[in-house]
Each structure stands twice: as C-alpha cells, then as structure tokens.
Amino acid sequence: MWKAVVLFIAFLSRLTAQTISELPLDAHKVVDLSVSREVTTVTFPEAITAVAGSGMLIDDGQAAAVDADQGAQFRFHVTHVKGANFLLVESLRPDASATLTVIFEGSAYVLALHSVAANPVASLILARPTVELAKKIERPPEPVKFSPRIGLSLLDRARAYPVLEHVLPKAVEGVTLRAQDRKIELPDLEIDVQEVYRFSYEDAVVFLLNLRNKTSQVLDLAPSTFAARIGDEKFPASIANGPRTLQPGESNEAEFAVVGMPDGTRNDLSVDNAFTILVNTSRQEASTTVPATVAASNGKPHP
C-alpha cells in the first residue's frame, strides 16, 4: 500500500485536534505553512501536476518510511502520489525552513514550510476562489398602474393599431396582436372576437368584439360586466365600451381591456389563450317605434 495512504490513515484521528485551514488559490501569494513530525495534508481542487523543492525528500508514496536518522540530510519529507490532488508534508529537522513549489493547472504555487514543535497545520485546503456576484435587494414587483386615462388610451390604440403601426410605431411598441375571428355563442348574444392585443408595458389585454342580438326582443347589455374567462379563471374588465341595448338582430362593436389583476399584481396573460367572453344581458319587449332594419344599420357604439 502506498505510504501516503498509510500515513493519512495513521494520523486521521489526530487531525481533529489540530488546525485545519482553507485558503483561496492564488499563484501570486506565498502560503506560510507550519509543519512538524506530524503529517500535514495539502489539498488542491484537482490533480497536482508536479512538486519540487530544495533540501527536501520528495517521493511518490512507493518509498519505504524515512526516519529522522535516514533523512538527516533533508529538512522536509514530501509525499505525492502521481495523479493525486493532495500531498503530505512532515518535518525532518527542528527549526528548519524551505520552499516547496507545487505545479497546478499550469501555475506555480509556493508554500513556505516552517518546522514547529507544536500546533502545526494538520490540513491545508486550497480551494478555487468564489466569484462574488453583485448583491441586490429583494423587493416585490411593482404594482400595475391603472387609471381611466390609461384604460381609454389602451382602447384607442387598439382600434387605431393598423394606422399607428405605420405612422407612429412608438405608440404600439411591445404590443402583440392576434386576429382571432372566433365566435362565442351565449344564450342571447353572439360574440365575434375579432382581435386580441397584448400591451406588455401596461400588462393589459384588449379585446375588440362584434356583438349580435340573436333574440326577437330588445336586449339590454351592461358593458361594465365584460370579462374574459380561461377555464375556471375569470378576468373582469378594467374598462369597457359598448352598446347598452341591441335591437332584435342588431350588431354593434364593443371593446374592453383587462389590466393587471384586481389586487394590483400582474396577470401576464398571453394573447394565444382561447378566451371565453362573458357579459350580463337581459331581454325586454321589442320596440315597435324603431324598425329593426334601421337599428341594424347603426354600426357605431352607443354613448
């Protein structure tokens, strides 16, 4: 068995009572190392290439044990097994000093050895220096800002998107558009989801719709109750615009925006969701004074 292994096991019980040091690898600094007749272990992160020094016995762990008389001409005994990431050092003479050079990953690391009678370093661990990252304070994400003015701006920019994209592109930076042209059938209302816009800066999703009254009665609508649903999640409108009534068979445009979440956090909704649109409606008796054909020709939102 290698002498290195024998020595390591023989002195393992003694290491816990002695000094164990850890230092960052630095080829530009000399490391002072106090050693005695007790074995000192020096460990590197990976395999050591070579060791060299004057006035010391250096072996590969295959040589027989060296006692004080046999090694009188040497100051220190160094054992390094080829391919190992550690070496073993012991003093052979009192009050001796010498310089041991260790070649590791193409750089030379210098250990200044000093013989001491007591309290030697039992183990020296040379570790790679840690890269210190910039420290950042932890803070919650900024709340989504919403006001009626912001909401109206979102609706206006969505309706004017084709024009703004060409004449004022900065007004629609960060906007994602999906032309869905998807119909949603409610009991009294057919909703055509024409386009869905995602405004990333405002964390808003804007829906452009076309509504059609499927009944033979006048339909009352409450635009403020517009909501988008995905599965079991419901996202109420932050601002909406649309007709308050629809005559039988009448169609009209509407739009609404979902901005953030009701608690002020972000929704981060994608325009690729298959949204179901909801709105509260109620029937009333059909008007006899306004012909349905005339009402159907009015394609603008009611005030």
> Chain-wide mean pLDDT for the chain?
83
The per-residue pLDDT for 258 is: 94
The per-residue pLDDT for 13 is: 44
The per-residue pLDDT for 298 is: 38
- Tens digits of residue pLDDT in 43-92: 999 999 999 998 889 988 775 555 545 556 899 999 999 999 999 999 99
- Tens digits of residue pLDDT in 266-278: 888 998 898 999 9
Hey, where are the domains in the chain?
3-127, 148-296
The per-residue pLDDT for 180 is: 76
Q: What is the CATH number of domain 148-296?
A: 2.60.40
Residue 48 to residue 44: CA distance in whole angstroms: 7
Rg of the chain (C-alpha set): 41
The least confident of 92-96, 177-181, 287-291 is: 287-291
When pLDDT is averaged across residues 116-125 and rounded to a whole number, the result is 91
Q: Which of 91, 113, 117, 111 is closest to 37 using CA atoms? A: 91
The per-residue pLDDT for 274 is: 87
Q: What pTM was computed for the model?
A: 0.50
The per-residue pLDDT for 68 is: 46
When pLDDT is averaged across residues 137-162 and rounded to a whole number, the result is 82
If one compares 12 and 78, the residue with the highest pLDDT of the two is 78
Look at residue 134 and tell me whether its pLDDT is greater than 80. no
